[in-house]
Amino acid sequence: MVGETLRNLLLIAWLLPLCGFAVEIFGGFWGSRRSRVAAWLAVGCIATGFVCSASALTVWGNSNGWSVLHHADHAHAESGEKPAEAHAETHAAATADQHKAEDQAHGGAEATKATTVFSGTFYRLATFGGLDLSLDYYIDSLTLVMFTMVTFIATCIHLFAMGYMSEELTEEYVDHHAHLRNGHHVHRPGRFYRFFAFLSLFCFSMLGLVLAGNIFQVFIFWELVGICSFLLIGFYTERKSASTAANKAFIMNRVGDFGFLIGLMVLWTYFGTFKFADTVDAEGHVVQAGLFQMLPRGADGNVIMNAENGEVQIGSATVANPPNRHATIPYALLVLAGLGVFAGCIGKSAQFPLQTWLPDAMEGPTPVSALVHSATMVAAGVYLTGRFYPMFVQEVLLTIAYIGCITAFVAATIAIVATDIKKVLAYSTISQL
Question: Cα separation of 74 and 12, whole Å?
Answer: 27
> With 70 as the cut, is the pLDDT of residue 26 above it?
yes
Mean pLDDT (the chain, rounded): 81
Q: Which one has a higher pLDDT value, 432 or 97?
A: 432
Tallying the residues shown for the chain, one arrives at: 433
pLDDT, average across residues 263-276: 89
Question: Cα separation of 238 and 189, whole Å?
Answer: 12
Supply the pLDDT for residue 115. 63
> With 50 as the cut, is the pLDDT of residue 112 above it?
no
**Dihedral sign of CA atoms 274, 277, 283, 288 in order:** positive
Maximum Cα–Cα distance for the chain, whole Å? 74
Coil/strand/helix, residue 330: strand
pTM, rounded to two decimals: 0.83
State pLDDT tens for residues 47-78: 999 999 999 999 998 887 776 555 444 444 44
> With 50 as the cut, is the pLDDT of residue 89 above it?
no
Supply the pLDDT for residue 421. 83
Residue 277 carries which side chain, given as an amino acid letter? Answer: A
Q: Could you tell me the pLDDT band of residue 99, with boundaries at 50, 70 and 90? A: very low
User: What separation in angstroms does the CA of 296 have from each of 138, 146, 290?
Assistant: 22, 29, 13
Question: Cα separation of 171 and 168, whole Å?
Answer: 8
pLDDT, average across residues 285-297: 79
> With 70 as the cut, is the pLDDT of residue 311 above it?
yes
Coil/strand/helix, residue 433: coil
Is residue 1 packed enough to be buried (19+ CB in 10 Å), middle (13-18) or exposed (0-12)? exposed
Coil/strand/helix, residue 36: coil
DSSP code, position 113: S
Q: Could you tell me the pLDDT band of residue 296, with boundaries at 50, 70 and 90? A: confident
Coil/strand/helix, residue 257: helix
Supply the pLDDT for residue 323. 54
Which residue from 198, 159, 143 is spatially nearest to 47, judged by alpha carbons? Answer: 159
